[in-house]
Amino acid sequence: MAIRALVWGENIHERTSAVVKKLYPDGMHNTIAAALREDAGIEADTATLQDPEHGLPEARVAQTDVLLWWGHRAHGDVDDAIVERVQNRVWEGMGLIVLHSGHFSKIFKRLMGTPCSLKWREAGERERIWVINRSHPIAQGLGERIEVPATEMYGEPFTVPEPMETVFITWYEGGEVFRSGMTWQRGAGRIFYFSPGHETYPIYHHAEIGQVLRNAVRWAHNPAPAWEGIAEAPNAPADTAPEKIEVRGERLHLDGEAGFR
């Protein structure tokens, strides 16, 4: 069964900036989705900020295996209730791939628990993405590095938690470095951040960038059944304890009563 990927795009600069429109006439989300469809095992759909419920109604999120997120100008316009919905679904097992300026999206900051800040410069400089672990699933089909001729610089310190794995580190012409590909887990969900993708350059048309995204979708997909109720803290009555115990001492709660939140 195909992996159900959903590409979420903010879809603003593509309509307001002539530069971006020329590079991505159908929107970046559609270019990314097209890159994903080069893998026959991935079914890719799109959603945008402007759609009702930002294109992320409950039922659709529930049917998504891996969500890709590109946002920049309008992080603050994303509805908190929808951010919570997406976060809960990541906890249940949906993969999440956060792209470029998505480092400052509500959903990424909430899942990381850190500022997710960095340093930036828009000078069309050269970027060289080094593959740190060539046997990682996300690095399959790549050489030792990817060369991006013109990029926005994103520089360290990148204030995220220590990752589970560092997959890529970037060298910039202007002298900075950046951990450009990292992984984390939150609940049952796998998360990958990938920094290349500034909207004024044709980065998502780059074949190797597409390869990374396809690999990342496969990596982030958790085929386990959704972990429903992962956010609940159930009471376990004493008579259901694996070992026989006698209730002693003082209590605040009655058997089976809900805890405080």
What residues between 61 and 90 interact with a copy of itself by CB under 8 A? 72-76, 87
Q: Which of residues 162-181 bind a copy of itself (CB under 8 A)?
A: 162-166, 169-177, 179
To 5 degrees, how large is the angle CA 221–CA 225–CA 229? 115
- DSSP secondary-structure letter at 102? G
| Burial (Cβ within 10 Å: 0-12, 13-18, ≥19) of residue 247 | exposed
Residues written for the chain: 261
* Residue from 1, 40, 81, 248 in contact with a copy of itself (CB under 8 A): 248
CB of 73 to a copy of itself, least distance (A): 5
Tell me, what amino acid is at 155? G
Write each residue from 101 to 140 as x if it is in contact with a copy of itself (CB under 8 A), else as -, in one continuous string.
x--x-----xxxxxx-xxxxxxxxx--x-xxxxxxxx--x
- Which residue, 4 or 103, has its beta carbon nearer to a copy of itself? 103
Instruction: Say how far apart CA 203 and CA 148 lie, in whole Å.
Output: 8
CB-based burial label for 227 (10 Å; 0-12, 13-18, 19+): middle
Among 8, 69, 192, 201, binds a copy of itself (CB under 8 A): 201
CB 21 within 8 A of CB 15: yes
Q: Identify which of residues 2 and 236 has a Cβ nearer to a copy of itself in the complex.
A: 236
Stretch that binds a copy of itself, among 31-39, 48-56, 61-69, 144-152 (CB under 8 A): 144-152
Using CB under 8 A as the binding rule, whether residue 57 contacts a copy of itself is answered as no
